Amino acid sequence: MVVFGTTFFNFDSFIGKTDSIEIIGKSVFLCCYHNILPLLNDSGRYSLGDARRPLHETAVLVEDVVHTQLINLLQQAAEVSQLRGARVITPEDLLFLMRKDKKKLRRLLKYMFIRDYKSKIVKGIDEDDLLEDKLSGSNNTNKRQKIAQDFLNSIDQTGELLAMFEDDEVDEVKQERMERAERQTRIMDSAQYAEFCESRQLSFSKKASKFRDWLDCSSMEIKPNVVAMEILAYLAYETVAQLVDLALLVRQDMVTKAGDPFSHAISATFIQYHNSAESTAACGVEAHSDAIQPCHIREAIRRYSHKIGPLSPFTNAYRRNGMAFLAC
């Protein structure tokens, strides 16, 4: 059953895999993600792959989607927390929610490790940082890694979760995003590149207080702790990233490529790359004038949530309230 247009793989071959989004993500080549929140301006989305001046409607829509998803996620995490009898939402709860999706979990773990590593290095550089760290109690090195490892250790029955720590496979989605960014930046001049870099640095974790306010946890009894907030910020970022990925795919799908008898068999990556290689300038222009429309986003979400394939009712645990989480 071909679901996503003629340029995509036959979906039948992927029945049983929990992560249909990964397959889609593989085919997306153009961009990475960006955030739309009021915290971030539109340049955040630009860095993730949208056009230089994204549409306002799209921004509003994506913000809405991300917000809803995060609130739902928080509520589910609160429920898990309550089950444990804890008073705060801890990263363990979020990890627990994500346990079904190996790839996304692995990406989250990698992110946590990189965060640990980066604080370790930056600490060694500045003597003030070193003092700060010493003063705040010297158990900070690799704390996120420890949390993750301990938790996964405790819930892992079959050993596959723990195997993820040693897993060194390439994360395809990440790879795609990197390649896309590389392609984009190759054709930029230094002013554009500087702007691009700046917008890439935007994230939800920079303005943590604003993020927390935006999330509005005040109505909840159980609130997330610091590391859990970090993870939530990361998940919000990932959600936007996924959305943009999907939307780009959808948009590309909408372009009819008439006359190519093999178009249903060739992967989208190849076609788009080929096109862009031929006309890099044109591609640049196209990217500028072709911002992601809200309809692309809506279609992307629809496809993602659409229950497809014989096993779909059993694949995603978070569909209870009808919402499929993009980030996990």
Partner 1 sequence: MASAPRPERVPRLLAGCLPPYPPPPPTVGLLSMEQEETYLELYLDQCAAQDDLAPPRSPLFNPVAPYGMYILNASNLDTALNSNPEVKEASGDFSSVDLSFLPDEVTQENKDQPVISSRHETEENSESQSPQSRLPSLSEQDIGLGLNSSSLSNSHSQLHPGDTDSVQPSPEKPNSDSLSLASITPMTPMTPVSECCGIVPQLQNIVSTVNLACKLDLKKIALHAKNAEYNPKRFAAVIMRIREPRTTALIFSSGKMVCTGAKSEEQSRLAARKYARVVQKLGFPARFLDFKIQNMVGSCDVRFPIRLEGLVLTHQQFSSYEPELFPGLIYRMVKPRIVLLIFVSGKVVLTGAKERSEIYEAFENIYPILKGFKKA
201 binds partner 1 (CB under 8 A): yes
State how beta strands 223-224 and 88-89 pair. Answer: parallel
Q: What is the x/- site pattern for partner 1, positions 144-183, by CB under 8 A?
A: ----------------------------------xx-xx-
Q: Which long-range contacts (CB under 8 A, 24 or more apart) does 10-16 make?
A: 11/308, 11/309, 12/309, 14/309, 15/309, 15/310, 15/311, 16/311
- Please report whether residue 111 would count as binding partner 1 according to CB under 8 A: yes
Q: Is 203 in the site for partner 1 (CB under 8 A)?
A: yes
Under the binding rule (CB under 8 A), the answer on residue 121 touching partner 1 is yes
Contact between 272 and 40 (Cβ < 8 Å): no
Burial 150-168 (b: 16+ CB within 10 A, else e): ebbeeeeeeeebeebeeee
Residue among 17 and 200 whose Cβ is closer to partner 1? 200
By CB under 8 A, the residues from 32 to 51 that bind partner 1 are 47
Out of 45, 104, 106, 115, the only residue in the binding site for partner 1 (CB under 8 A) is 115
Neighbour-count burial for 105-120, b at 16+ CB within 10 Å, e otherwise = bbbbbebbbebbeebe
Contact 275, 26 (CB under 8 A): no
Q: Which of 200, 207, 210, 257: binder of partner 1 (CB under 8 A)?
A: 200
Beta carbon nearer to partner 1, 11 or 111: 111
Question: Which residues lie near partner 1 (CB under 8 A)?
Answer: 47, 111, 114-115, 117-118, 121-122, 124-127, 130-131, 134-135, 178-179, 181-182, 184-186, 189-190, 193-194, 197, 200-203, 205-206, 237
